[in-house]
Amino acid sequence: MSEQIEIEFKNILTKSEYEMFLKEFNISGDQIFTQVNYYFDTPYFDLKNASAALRIRKKAKGYELTLKQPQQLGILETTQALKEGEFISAIESNKLPIGIVHSKITKLGITYSHIEHFGSLTTKRVEIPYRNGLLVFDHSYYLGKEDYEVEYEVENYEDGYNYFLELLTRKNIPNRKTDNKIHRFYQQKYASNK
């Protein structure tokens, strides 16, 4: 189990802007890896309504269940490791394991047993060090949609914000209001449910 504050800046990109960044940073095909996020909520979007998000992500040595909750600066991520059997139970039977994530969700007043798997989002990702942070280029696919974005993960909010804006300005890319992946996923899910 771990808890950490994540500070990141993000900006949606056009396909050509994304490709320009890959070229500028000399990204080769073997630097791009695939990750899948499996998203969960109640049928009434209780987690979303509490400004929280829940996902499982496959990692090199298993799976991670992560609850994300906004803080004044950044996002509090509470993560617990899962075994493959726990992952399969969550995806196929909507049975999430007991642990720190269960405890935090219960404190939000949300019935844990009502949470179900909503779908997945697949990302082709590149991560490179950049000015005391981590620069990330993502090409994501979900619910018949695809998009591109740049993220910049840092420890210092002010420096990170300035470096990120400088990067966008240098490339003449507008600073676009960008929802995180789970919110984009939810928007597409809402649209497909109408």
Q: What pLDDT, on the 0 to 100 scale, is given for residue 187?
A: 87
Q: What pLDDT, on the 0 to 100 scale, is given for residue 143?
A: 93
The pTM score is: 0.90
Q: What pLDDT, on the 0 to 100 scale, is given for residue 194?
A: 62
CATH code for position 134: 2.40.320.10
For residue 194, tell me if it sits in a domain.
Answer: no
For residue 191, tell me if it sits in a domain.
Answer: no
- Say how far apart CA 88 and CA 22 lie, in whole Å: 35
Which residues lie across from 134 on neighbouring strands? 129, 153
Under-70 pLDDT residues of the chain: 1, 193-194
**What is the domain count for the chain?**
1
What is each CA distance from 139 to 66, 110, 129, 144, 160, in whole angstroms? 21, 32, 18, 13, 22
Q: What pLDDT, on the 0 to 100 scale, is given for residue 73?
A: 85
Summarize the chain as % helix, strand, coil (round to 5): 35, 40, 25
Beta strands in 26-61 (DSSP E): 33-41, 53-59
For residue 190, tell me if it sits in a domain.
Answer: no
For residue 76, tell me if it sits in a domain.
Answer: yes
Domain of residue 134: give its range: 2-170
Whether 132 and 154 have beta carbons less than 8 Å apart is answered as yes
